[in-house]
Amino acid sequence: MNSISVAGVEIPTGHLINGHRIDSVRTLRNTSPIDGQFLGDFSSGGAGEIDLAVNAARVAFPAWRDLGPSGRGEILEKLATLIEENVETLAQIETLDNGALLRSHRKGVMPRAAANIRFFAEWAKEQLKHEPFETRGHINNVSWDPSGVAALITPWNAPLMLATWKIGPALAAGDTVILKPAEWTPLSASFFADLTMKAGMPPGVFNVVFGPGEEAGAALTKHPGISRISFTGSVPTAKIIAKAAAENLTPITLELGGKSPLIVLEDADLELAATLAIEQYDNAGQVCLSGTRLLVHEKVVDDFTRLFVDKASRINQGDPRHEETQVGPQIHPDHLARIEGFVERARKEGADIVLGGKPNEQLGGLFYQPTLVMKPNPESEIFREEVFGPVLCLQTFANDEQALAMANDTEFGLAAVVVSGRREHAAKITKNLVAGTIWVNCFFVRDLRAPFGGSKKSGIGRDGGTWSFDFYADVKNTVVAPHGWKE
């Protein structure tokens, strides 16, 4: 079994299939975005490894299904506790691997990964019920039956957090799982795989296959042995996955990108609005939910911009392991080049870049300066497409109707932020905003009971509470007649 030593722990670099670590001949090189440090070579799987994993998950399925919500819940609760006990290690390795802030991994992200597992285990036991109802003396019993093998494909921006957001409900629902993490961030998935074994999860219930999306991911999504595909990532990849799923009519859920609006109404607390706008640079802008289009009422735009630029120019950019750092590096040289491309093309088109606009030369490496583009052409690429970096655009509006029209004039619909000083005014705007989640005078407040997902090209389906189980389970209605009984 091959492994690497990172942050004081040994992390296997092979897949986890049927309770065994399996190394592939081919490998993928993994480096840290913080300083380019080589972290190790991870196994790079393809159709063969996927086939083994699907078979293992299918064999493990009946026993896992038959354990029921309580039996599964016991193991999942142990797993959640193990994550909690290993928050520090998980935080360290995730920061090394994807460059997001260590302090937010410690305080928010990793405890949340544990909560994702615990919440769905408890929901399956306590909340997943439907009162029987009667039809002319016949009783309808609705149940959520396990569906089989769930294929979970996750991105690099919040690797373990987004994986557990799928793993929790899939396993609690009684499905067995194959996780295909992003090729740039395999570390936390491998460490987590060890925790599933320590928690006593039977072999084959949880499997991980590492490898490129075009090989391991493609083989997984077209496999006839899987019953569900849950994907978080980009729109172009989602289209490929939807086509692969169509071949077997495998149900899919897609959580994709966004170009979310942050609307500052004329009655907004501008200090609050500027603080919320600064938060859109979190994780170096590599967050699908980010409100990257700042739509500001023309009467307050000068005051807002002054406050925003003042805060933005004081942002502490640097090593994500340092406590005072607010914005770290981008994930990968290819991704940095993509961000640079967007901003350079905008510059060539004459965009007014009032802040940042280039890599941080002092820091070098993969650091890109927090950037603000003033009033770009509303039809331009920088205002319409997801950059997935610390790049915000600002536009003004004259009235509520214009604000709403601008906010909805996008092919995405993942999230929106509305900042207003009057409840009725905010409600007037939120009523017809098209977005899966809207935050009013706040950002990123998330509750696992709430639905989460995107409208339009931001996705298909919703996660959270019973919505997750509606996807991972086969929902069944058993109608029992009042007659025909011999007892």
Instruction: Give the footprint of ligand ADP on this chain (CB under 6 A).
Output: 153-155, 180, 182-183, 213-214, 217-218, 221, 233-234, 237, 240-241
| Closer CB to ligand ADP, 156 or 367, in the complex | 156
- Specify whether the CB–CB gap between 321 and 102 falls below 8 A: yes
Q: How far is the CB of 120 from ligand ADP (least distance, A)?
A: 22
What type of residue sits at position 384?
R
Q: How far is the CB of 241 from ligand ADP (least distance, A)?
A: 5
Give one DSSP letter per residue of 153-171, joined into a string: E--SSSHHHHHHHHHHHHH
Among residues 57, 49, 11, 80, the alpha carbon closest in space to that of 202 is found at: 57
What type of residue sits at position 294?
L
| Closer CB to ligand ADP, 237 or 305, in the complex | 237
Q: One of 122, 183, 215, 255 is an active-site residue; which one?
A: 255
**266 catalytic residue (yes or no):** no
**255 catalytic residue (yes or no):** yes
Q: One of 49, 183, 288, 386 is an active-site residue; which one?
A: 288
| Closer CB to ligand ADP, 266 or 463, in the complex | 463
| Closer CB to ligand ADP, 57 or 264, in the complex | 57
The first and second tokens of residue 245, run together, are: 């799923």
Q: Which residues contact 412 (CB under 8 A, 6 or more apart)?
A: 256, 257, 258, 259, 260, 386, 454, 456, 457, 458
The residue with its CB nearest to ligand ADP is 213
Question: What angle do the packed helices 301-312 and 270-278 form, to 10 degrees?
Answer: 40
| Closer CB to ligand ADP, 13 or 221, in the complex | 221
For 186-219, the three-class secondary structure string (H helix, E strand, C coil) is CHHHHHHHHHHHHCCCCCCCEEECCCCHHHHHHH
What type of residue sits at position 451?
P
3-state secondary structure of 305: helix
Give the active site residues: 255, 288
